Amino acid sequence: MFLVIDALSAAAEPTRRRILQLLASQPRTVSSIAAEFTVTRSAISQHLLLLAEVGLVTAEKVGRERIYRVVPDGLRQLQAEIDRFWTAELDLLVADAHALKSQRIERDH
Amino acid sequence: MFLVIDALSAAAEPTRRRILQLLASQPRTVSSIAAEFTVTRSAISQHLLLLAEVGLVTAEKVGRERIYRVVPDGLRQLQAEIDRFWTAELDLLVADAHALKSQRIERDH
DNA sequence: AAAACACGTTAGGCGTTACTAACGCATTCC
DNA sequence: GGAATGCGTTAGTAACGCCTAACGTGTTTT
């Protein structure tokens, strides 16, 4: 059904980002999550299935509901991927941007 | 040509991630970047155009070449988006994962 | 017990994406 | 100057992603 992709690509999608944030504060059912969005339950369900595929969430079947929760270990892997991407060089460039901004502010005063 | 998307979605794509990392260490031409990948110049060019669209890189025309470089301010925005996504709750869950891991290690010794 | 209802998933469609092939244009070489 | 080469972009295409509609299944209600 899904092509397995990496955690970062999976988590980057705007809707899935919000889903992860919601689930971070507390486990939820599909419908409960869908209530926070304009798209259908179905769409949310599929996002959750994808997130499960890459190990960022798991579902616990309770009656006819599925309680989805984030998997801490999956999050760790996601964080690791982000860290691997965000190299020291990128960090330096951001620092430069900050410096330039400060300079601009000082000049404008 | 491109639908404008957010910096995080743009940067998350695996090829574009690597492109950004390459450009972080030094500005480069399209061909120079393409040499590091298996896909064609054309594909790389399009990734660069997309990255430019969301303000993560810019091109400087020099002769028949385009020298692409990262835009520090764009990177700052990307970092801000990542930070906005990575809420305190997610951080806590990761910390839990670490704690569990330590426990497991101790138990296994 | 079965009808109505509610939950999550699967099937199918449409727009987008990521790619190669073909192109236009600038530069170099003869 | 013109042919050949090399650069980046545009044109076109197959595959993918995200969505709604239809479905299967479990649960409540009467």
CATH number of the domain within which A97 lies: 1.10.10.10
CA of B9 to C1' of C16 (A): 14
Check CB contact under 8 Å for B87 and A17.
no
Residue B38: is its pLDDT beyond 90? yes
Cβ of residue B64 lies below 7 Å from strand D? yes
Residue B109: is its pLDDT beyond 90? no
Quick one: pLDDT at residue A4? 78
Residues of the domain holding B70: 7-108
The backbone region for A108, taken as left when phi is positive above 0, alpha when psi lies in -120 to 50, beta otherwise, is alpha
Average pLDDT, chain A: 93
Indicate whether A1 belongs to any domain: no
Indicate whether B31 belongs to any domain: yes
Indicate whether A86 belongs to any domain: yes
pLDDT tens readout for residues B49-77: 999 999 999 999 999 999 999 999 999 99
Indicate whether A102 belongs to any domain: yes
By percentage, how much of chain A surpasses pLDDT 90? 82
Q: Are strands A57-62 and B65-70 parallel, antiparallel or unpaired?
A: unpaired
Indicate whether B2 belongs to any domain: no
Q: In whole angstroms, give the CA distance from residue B85 to residue B30.
A: 31
The total number of structural domains that make up chain B: 1
